[in-house]
Amino acid sequence: MHSISLVAICEPKTLIANIDMIRMKVGMDFSIANLWGSIWVLYKSLFDCQMIGESNQHLTLSLRSQLLAEEIYFSFIHSKCTVQEREGLWIELLNDKPEVKPWFLVGDFNVILNAEKKRGGLPFRHAQGIELSQFMSLAEVGDAGFSGSRYTWCNNRKGILRVWKRLDRLLLNSAAMLMESNILVQHLGRNPSDHAPLLISASTRLDDKPRPFKFLNIWTTKPGFMDVIKESWSISSPGSPLQVLSAKLRRVKQALRLWSRESVGDIFLAIRTVEHRVLEAEIDHDNHPLEKSLVAVQEARARLKHTLEVNEVIFSMDEESAAGPDGFTGKFFMSTWEVVAMDIQRAIVRFFCGTMLPRSVSATSIVLLPKIQCPQDFTQYRPISLCNFINKVISKILSFRLAKVLPHIISP
């Protein structure tokens, strides 16, 4: 049914001496296990596996293959039942954490993050999820998601004593999330075990385009971030204020990609082509001297009011809101406001003076949000439109202005 190239077995319930017999039965070529024999990894010859770290609760390997664009780290986990016993696991895993390579962490973490990951039994307490949440923050990893059953473990008791939890999961660092392949996790049937096997697969992207830029809010906490923004933003660009803003945002993308790859981590290795720095060709009113003079007069009258209005709107918005097609979140603009403010104010003022928005600003992305947990087909998704942050600012300014005017022109 599935073509499997690597199998990890946690708590095999048999002697380590039997590992080769089982390896041959499942059609694998090689095997490796931690010293305690609690975690086995069986794999085919297309992989080259080397041990990076181990404990009685985990086994970390480096994987190389002609199927992979680069070396990846894989940590297989079978954690203990108590908080005290798991403390050592988090420390060991952080010791294995790669600086720039993709990192996959998979297995039984024996802890859940929130009440949605449990059904039955005693009520979930927030304190129970803190240790895993703190580890994920320190390790800079996120959940890969899944399809299939919501829970991966059941105590198999009857009636009101039955408890379900999602104890097993796959975590990825940013480099793994941005690999060329899409990583998919499927929860298979539990029978006869109390744990559901996780089927991890990598599907090749259907297009040959580079992955779109996405601003990572964590960049704002890294040393050197503001220096990169200031250096890139200070380079002058020709064109109208809206064109200048578009050009500077494009240039910042390039600078952040390079800085991230060299200083923070190689998280954009999957990008195979670089975006062109050419401004989108656009004919606007600036090409005619008379219209240019008219716009200048309009700007002079409106600048002070617009500047205060833009500042107020920018900082009233959600910095964590989803990014549009340009990849920039509100966090980027708020954290770099001292550098980017003037260009953004000029661009928005120019729009309200009659200049059309370039496509780089007005473009939107259509994304699908699941209506239910673990959707299986397109009917279980809801489409929404994501616009760029600058577009959101303009829309909010228009909304504020209309809110003052509409009551006077609409009869009750």
pLDDT at 264: 55
330: how many CB neighbours lie within 10 A of its CB?
21
Range in 54-63, 102-111, 156-165 with the lowest mean pLDDT: 156-165
Domains by residue range for the chain, with CATH = 6-204 (3.60.10.10), 217-362+393-408 (no CATH)
Output phi, psi for 195, to 5 deg.
Answer: -110, 145
pLDDT at 77: 95
Mean pLDDT over the full length of the chain: 80
Whether 71 has a pLDDT exceeding 70, the answer reads yes
Q: How far apart are CA 75 and CA 69, in angstroms?
A: 19
Average pLDDT over residues 354-376: 79
Q: How confident is the model at residue 120 (pLDDT cuts 50, 70, 90)?
A: confident
Euclidean distance between CA atoms 144 and 171, whole angstroms: 6
Q: Which residue has the higher pLDDT, 302 or 185?
A: 185
The average pLDDT across 229-243 equals 88
Whether residue 26 contacts residue 7, with contact meaning beta carbons closer than 8 Å, is answered with yes
| Contact predicate 68/49, CB 8 Å | no
pLDDT in tens, 7-61: 999 989 899 999 999 999 989 999 999 999 999 999 999 899 999 999 999 999 9
Q: What is the pLDDT of residue 211?
A: 65
pLDDT, position 279: 26
Question: In the prediction, which pLDDT does 55 show?
Answer: 95
Q: Between residues 346 and 91, which one has the greater pLDDT?
A: 91
Closest CA to 247 of 382, 358, 108: 358
pLDDT at 287: 42
pLDDT of residue 44: 92
The pTM (predicted TM-score) of the whole model is 0.54
214 contacts: CB under 8 Å, gap ≥ 6: 323, 327
Per the model's pLDDT, the better-predicted residue between 73 and 187 turns out to be 73
CB 225 within 8 A of CB 219: yes
pLDDT surpasses 80 at 319? no
Residue 275 has pLDDT above 70, yes or no: no
pLDDT at 323: 80
Rounded Cα–Cα distance for residues 404 and 410 (Å): 11
Q: Which has more confidence, 269 or 222?
A: 222
Backbone angles phi, psi at 104, to 5 degrees: -110, 130
What mean pLDDT do residues 90-95 have? 95
Per DSSP, what are the bridge partners of residue 32? 41
**Other C-beta atoms lying within 10 Å of the C-beta of residue 275:** 14
Residue with tokens 């260009």: 343
Q: What is the pLDDT of residue 57?
A: 95
With a pLDDT cut of 90, the percent of the chain lying above it is 26
Q: Is the pLDDT of residue 109 over 60?
A: yes
pLDDT at residue 276, rounded to an integer: 28
pLDDT at site 73:
96
What is the structure's pLDDT at 330? 84
pLDDT in tens, 372-392: 766 667 788 888 888 888 888
What pLDDT does 24 receive?
92
Residue 339 pLDDT greater than 70, yes or no: yes
Report the distance separating Cα 18 and Cα 20, nearest Å.
6
Q: Write down the pLDDT at residue 204.
A: 59
Strand duo 72-78 + 103-108: pairing: parallel
Confidence of residue 177 (pLDDT cuts 50, 70, 90): confident
**Does residue 211 come out as left (phi exceeding 0), alpha (psi in the -120 to 50 range) or beta?**
beta
Enter the DSSP assignment of 182: E
Mean pLDDT confidence for 151-170: 86
* Model confidence band, residue 91 (pLDDT cutoffs 50, 70, 90): very high
Q: What is the pLDDT of residue 271?
A: 32
